[in-house]
Amino acid sequence: MAILVTGGLGYIGSHTVVELLNNGFEVVIIDDLSNTERFILKNIEEITGKKPVFYPFDLRRKELLTQVFDAHQIDGCINFAASKAVGESQIIPVDYYENNLFSLINILQEFKTRKISNFIFSSSCTVYGQADVMPIDENTPLKTPESVYGKTKQMGEQILIDFAKAYHSKISLLRYFNPIGAHPSGKLGELPIGIPNNLVPYVMQTASGIREKLNIWGDDYPTEDGTAVRDYIYVVDLAKAHVAALKKLIDDPSSDAVIDIYNLGTGKGSSVLEVVKAFEKTNNVEVPYQICARREGDITIAYANPDKAGKELHWKSETSLEEALRTVWEWQKYLKTRNS
Ligand code: UFG
């Protein structure tokens, strides 16, 4: 079966492509290379010994997208392609709405015309905002996200739910908590483009001396050590959940709409300071830091109840925080040798 993976050379996309190829799927990647680099494709080929088809273009180019659907018998799509910088989305909101929603709609138009089902959407726990009760399960009420980025995820979900209902399609909305880590081969990971916004890439660059100090955004939260708590999920575990979600849709005999929603996390919250300490201990490096004021828009605490994914996808996070942080350091070493 050929699966279209948009954003397939990006961080979570590339790890998922590896898992799909290892599970015998044919993969067609579309990626505009706006937030990744071409060597990732070569590394996917080295890891898997297989060659996915690759098209470098922006999904808003509808005519090119149609050509891909003409050239391949596409059986499903995993849609990662999106702009994802929370801060930037507040500054250029129209570009975020255009990029994230037009590309989704263009793919759905092809799905509609060709009567294709099986669509997996890369969503985020940001759709829950600051939830009132922990852990967060799929019945937790949605709140309007703080950021435009988050709003594009919530709108994307809504578009897909309407699509599934109208065309009796099968969709899966995967709400990620905080993905971290790199491939055990050391050849795939999050590519740092500019100054990282997310915690773990920033920690990684501070440990290696690229950044002087990590700024910890706030130590006055009502948590055990005062720093904010998140659910850090290993990227390869997350990638495996995509394959499980896809197989479930493919195997579902129903001719009605299928709308699956899963929270993908470990079920355990870790504070910013716990992550920093775990990184230092696991990798035997120092991460200098200073405590700063809270970052605007940050929530206090978010961790998942992943039981539904456990029951229905037979999936659970298997990798410890320490092991995930070890792969991050290996990835940093790889990037260093690549750049030298
Ligand atoms: N943090 C720091 N210093 C940094 C970076 C982050 O202290 O340099 C803290 C943040 O304040 C937060 C925690 O580390 O408390 C995690 O921050 P991230 O930026 O890594 O992750 P977020 O939880 O803010 O964001 C993630 C995804 C978004 C998604 C959001 C939903 O990156 O795509 O979860 O809550 F929208």
Give the chain's domains with CATH numbers: 2-179+232-265 (3.40.50.720)
Inter-residue contact 55 to 29 (CB < 8 Å): yes
Q: Are 225 and 271 in contact (CB under 8 A)?
A: yes
Residue 308 confidence (pLDDT): 98
- Please, are residues 173 and 162 in contact by the beta-carbon 8 Å criterion? no
Ligand 1 centre to CA of 295 (Å) is 9
CA of 215 to the centre of ligand 1 (A): 12
Residue-level pLDDT at 192:
78
10-31 average pLDDT score: 98
Residues 6+ apart with CB under 8 A from 14: 8, 36, 40, 43, 44, 183, 188
Which amino acids are annotated catalytic? Answer: 149
Q: How far is Cα 26 from Cα 186, in angstroms, rounded to an integer?
A: 23
Q: Check residue 340 and give its pLDDT.
A: 80
CB of 202 closer than 6 angstroms to any ligand 1 atom: yes
CA angle in degrees (0–180, nearest 5) for 123-5-254: 70
Residue by residue, DSSP assigns 26-92 as EEEEE---SSS-THHHHHHHHHHS---EEE---TT-HHHHHHHHHHS-EEEEEE------HHHHHHS
Mean pLDDT, residues 46-54 taken together? 98
- Residues 55-77 as b/e (b if ≥16 CB within 10 A, e otherwise) read beebbeeeeebeebbeeeebbbb
- Answer whether 79's CB lies under 8 Å from 121's CB: yes
Name which residue sits closest to atom 24 of ligand 1, judged by CA.
298
pLDDT band at 154 (very low <50, low <70, confident <90, very high): very high
pLDDT of residue 146: 87
**Average pLDDT of every residue of the chain:** 97
**Residue minimizing CA distance to atom 4 of ligand 1:** 199
User: CA-CA distance, 302 to 242, in Å (whole number)?
Assistant: 21
User: What's the mean pLDDT in 311-333?
Assistant: 98
Q: 154 CB under 6 A from ligand 1?
A: no
Q: Which of 25, 47, 13, 44 is nearest to 176 (CA)?
A: 13
Question: What does the alpha-carbon distance between residue 161 and residue 259 come to, in Å, rounded to a whole number?
Answer: 7
* Strand, helix or coil for residue 316: coil
Query: Alpha carbon of 135 to those of 138, 139, 175, 274, 305: distances in Å?
Result: 10, 11, 14, 19, 5
Q: Which of 89, 214, 230 should be mutated for ligand 1, with most atoms under 8 A from CB?
A: 230
Q: Determine phi and psi for 185, rounding to 5 degrees.
A: -70, -15
Residue range 235-248: mean pLDDT, rounded: 98
Mean pLDDT for the stretch of residues 45-53: 98
Say what the pLDDT of residue 26 is. 98
What tens digit of pLDDT does each residue of 252-294 get? 999 999 999 999 999 999 999 999 999 999 999 999 999 999 9
What angle, 0 to 180 degrees and rounded to 10, lies between the N-to-C axes of helices 11-22 and 235-251? 60
The per-residue pLDDT for range 132-148, each reduced to its tens digit, is 999 999 999 999 998 99
State the pLDDT confidence band at 199, using cuts at 50, 70 and 90.
very high
Per-state percent for the chain, helix, strand, coil, to nearest 5: 45, 20, 40
How far, in Å, from the CA of 199 to the mean position of ligand 1? 6
pLDDT of amino acid 21? 98
Beta carbons within 8 Å of 256's beta carbon, 6+ residues apart: 168
The pLDDT, as a whole number, for residue 222 is: 98
Percentage of residues in the chain with pLDDT exceeding 90?
A: 96
pLDDT of 339 over the 90 cut:
no
User: Which residue, 7, 6, 10, 12, is CA-closest to 234?
Assistant: 12
